[in-house]
Amino acid sequence: TDVRPPVISLALSPGSGLFVAVLVQMTIAGKSFIGGNMEIALAANLTASSRLGQDAAGIPRFSARNCHIALVSVKTNLPRSVLPKVMSKFLDSTLQKVLPGLLCPAVDAVLNLVNAKFATMTAEIPLGTAGTLQYILLNPPMTNETFIELDLKTILHQEEGKEVELPRDQLSLSPLPPKRDAATQFILSANFLSAELSVLQASFNLNISNNMVLGLLPLVTTMLGALIPEISRVVPPSQPVVTEMREAKAPVVTITQDKSFVQLFSTAEFWTSPSDSAPESLFILDV
């Protein structure tokens, strides 16, 4: 007739996985053999442990190892004269046999929900239209008292499906940065970030025209002529200009103790388009 919200405690088991303790409180009602209604209010403690490993596809997976039910308290409205004998028989023959089959499958159900979340980890992640990124476990998960460490392998594919080779980093993850409560830390290497940006390299290409430079002076040859006089001598004034930005080589990420840098190597080619002739390249800058 009454099931209270469970009180759940979780703890990491070093070298193993997860330990779960659930306090369950419920009231069971029915007809008494001596007549009238009978109510039994009970509290039971469910404890279970699960192992964290990886399956054949390289996905983390929890699997239940054992599940135990211990009765914490039992209260009933039966007369005290019949209570000891009746309750003893009821506990031995009914509750101790029924409760594990009633409550332990809930542990498996919760672990299956968590495993379903893990299953999405190996799905290909689109990097816009430039390619895809995929993670798989490189080594079995490591569990200690305070966190779970997943050593991931990253697989990058360009748009045409070609895999991008990543340098094999010999990184030491010890000591890790200070762990904040209820926080997940995601540690990426400079080589991986450089490779991911290289897949996105074409995405940095763009053409800049009047409409893209809002709030600035019109992008015309007159403005450029003030900086480079030769332009004013060879090109009519106030011709519209288009700046064509193109990535020249792969980006490079550098990570130090205190700072991180991303270097993008581009060329900026300035074009003018007279109304009566083909577009003309004015000059190229390395950026």
| pLDDT exceeds 80 at position 83 | no
Of 61, 94, 122, which residue constitutes the final position of a domain? 122
Instruction: Retrieve residue 141's tokens.
Output: 């998960």
Tally of domains in the chain: 2
**The pLDDT value given to residue 129:** 87
Asked whether residue 146 is domain-assigned, the answer is no
Asked whether residue 228 is domain-assigned, the answer is yes
Segment 60-82 shows an average pLDDT of 82
Do 206 and 115 belong to one domain? no
- CB of 74 within 8 A of CB of 87? yes
Asked whether residue 107 is domain-assigned, the answer is yes
Do 113 and 201 belong to one domain? no
- The closest of 222, 241, 243 to 233, measured between CA atoms, is 222
Lowest mean pLDDT among 71-80, 154-163, 197-206, 232-241: 71-80
DSSP code for 29: E
Asked whether residue 248 is domain-assigned, the answer is yes
**Bridge partners of residue 255, in order along the sequence:** 260
Do 113 and 216 belong to one domain? no
| Rounded percentage of the chain residues whose pLDDT exceeds 90 | 21
Asked whether residue 128 is domain-assigned, the answer is no
Do 118 and 26 belong to one domain? yes
Segment 51-77 shows an average pLDDT of 87
Of 122, 142, 172, which residue constitutes the final position of a domain? 122
| pLDDT exceeds 80 at position 193 | yes
- The closest of 243, 253, 166 to 205, measured between CA atoms, is 243
**CATH code at 30?**
3.15.10.10
Do 118 and 12 belong to one domain? yes
Asked whether residue 271 is domain-assigned, the answer is yes
Task: Band the pLDDT of 259: cuts 50, 70, 90.
Answer: confident
Do 199 and 96 belong to one domain? no
Of 107, 122, 137, which residue constitutes the final position of a domain? 122
d(CA 148, CA 125): 23
Q: Which DSSP helix (H) or strand (E) runs through 154?
A: strand 152-158
Q: What is the pLDDT of residues 92-128, one digit of tens each?
A: 667 778 888 888 888 888 889 989 998 888 889 998 8
Do 112 and 205 belong to one domain? no
Q: Identify the domain containing residue 59 by its residue range.
A: 2-122
Do 23 and 118 belong to one domain? yes
| pLDDT exceeds 80 at position 87 | no
Do 17 and 108 belong to one domain? yes
**The pLDDT value given to residue 119:** 87
Asked whether residue 23 is domain-assigned, the answer is yes
**The pLDDT value given to residue 70:** 87
Asked whether residue 162 is domain-assigned, the answer is no
| pLDDT exceeds 60 at position 170 | no
Q: What is the residue whose two structure tokens read 């007739």? A: 1
Which one has a higher pLDDT value, 30 or 35? 30
- CB of 135 within 8 A of CB of 153? yes
d(CA 90, CA 247): 78
| Rounded percentage of the chain residues whose pLDDT exceeds 70 | 89
The pTM (predicted TM-score) of the whole model is 0.66
Task: Band the pLDDT of 176: cuts 50, 70, 90.
Answer: low
Q: Is the dihedral of CA 59, 60, 61, 66 positive or negative?
A: positive
Task: Band the pLDDT of 267: cuts 50, 70, 90.
Answer: very high
